[in-house]
Chain A
């Protein structure tokens, strides 16, 4: 199974500028864990020590915020696209 993950700019310096990566996992948490396994610097930037996402990290599956789904347990399937976006607002 292959999920496309869009990497935000602040993390691209660890992926040599690559903006989209492929990773495996049955849900969002597993996919992100796979990535953190490959890129050690991701973990502390994305996750708190208790394993929950950092407050200012928003994750989307096919443009839908995972907090409207099952958070890190939101299921993903082949062809889905995960986006990691720094939270901003204003308006």
Chain B
């Protein structure tokens, strides 16, 4: 039993029954799940959530499945970590890292949307699932499909990082590498979904898929002690996560689970692919597509269909948007690793770099709480930092050589010697 009433077009409001439909037949707008908030208000309490499993499914009442979830039982409920050394570096008083780089099983925020989409695909009776991916989604779909026993087709740009390709291949999906960028892959997948009737999770199951992203926001609020952060910085690729984090915070407020307090959300993009940042800076909600050119391949989406909703959420929440160059992204990956022991991929580096910029610009107040969204793991994107790190030294297994080479040259003299 769920609290789902049906689907509704976000643009024109046309209502639909729950079905694997993602596009409004009247205006092509995206469809969204509609919940019975009155029923939820009567039923959902903090205690009920706290008694739930240590996974994203503790928020099951706010997710669109009818029966038991079939996957994602160990996904979500990732650490929200304080970042004291980064606080000192930046002169901030309350910095948090929401760390999906350790999200099980494939180490990215995508577990959240995939767990919901695949559970729903099974409810609808699909036997084949698929996705268009810049890497993490493909990894997640491949893993969950394998564990549930579904056939999977994963469509990716042909030139993704090795770790991202391997991270799908190992689970045995049908991997299709497309000569083109992500937007080309995406367009093809829309046509494939039309033609073959597969559950392409980020296409025809999109209304259900995107609901999983809310859990990123739910967890932040619960882990902060049932309160909203004052500022939250979120990377923007296709535009799924930021609007859903905003929706999650609004739902919690509406249902009386958190107090209504100001919360501003900021979009972070790479300078080499920043259509949403460009729109926000220009004060418009019309997104002009771009041809991506950045090492942050996972967020290199030049035509983000949900970009409009990102701009809307940023504006409603009193947030902003900023970009980071490839150099700033790499520097931020290193800074996060060295200060907090977290190794993130370029999308995470983008978010850290943009947070630093927004603080320097004074848009984020140093004395207020800030959450940085880390959505993926750096081990999958080694190319981004390869050759840019201290190589260390190679020596023989001789103490004298260690003394000469390592200690004398590299270890600073202790004071007083």
Contact = CB atoms under 8 A, between A and B. Distances in A.
* Chain B associates with chain A: yes
A67 B288 contact: yes
B289 A65 contact: yes
Interface string B173-192: 00000000011101101110
Contacts of B25: 10, 45
B23 A10 contact: yes
**Could you tell me the dominant secondary structure of chain A's interface residues?**
mixed
Contact of A91 (B30, B134, B291): B134
A58 interface: yes
What band does the interface of chain A fall in when counting residues whose beta carbon is under 8 Å from B?
20 to 34
Interface stretch (B74-82, B88-96, B257-265, B302-310): B302-310
Contacts of B301: 89, 91
B29 A56 contact: yes
B11 interface: yes
Interface residues of B, number: 44
B416 to A, nearest CB: 56
B8 interface: no
A38 interface: no
Interface centre among A54, A55, A63, A83 (most CB of B within 10 A): A55
Contact of B305 (A44, A45, A56, A60): A56
Interface of B: 11, 22-23, 25-30, 113, 131-134, 136-137, 182-184, 186-187, 189-191, 194, 202-203, 206, 209, 237-240, 288-289, 291, 298, 301, 303-308
17 contacts: A10-B25, A44-B26, A44-B27, A46-B28, A54-B28, A55-B308, A68-B289, A85-B187, A86-B28, A86-B190, A87-B28, A87-B303, A87-B305, A89-B202, A89-B303, A90-B186, A90-B206
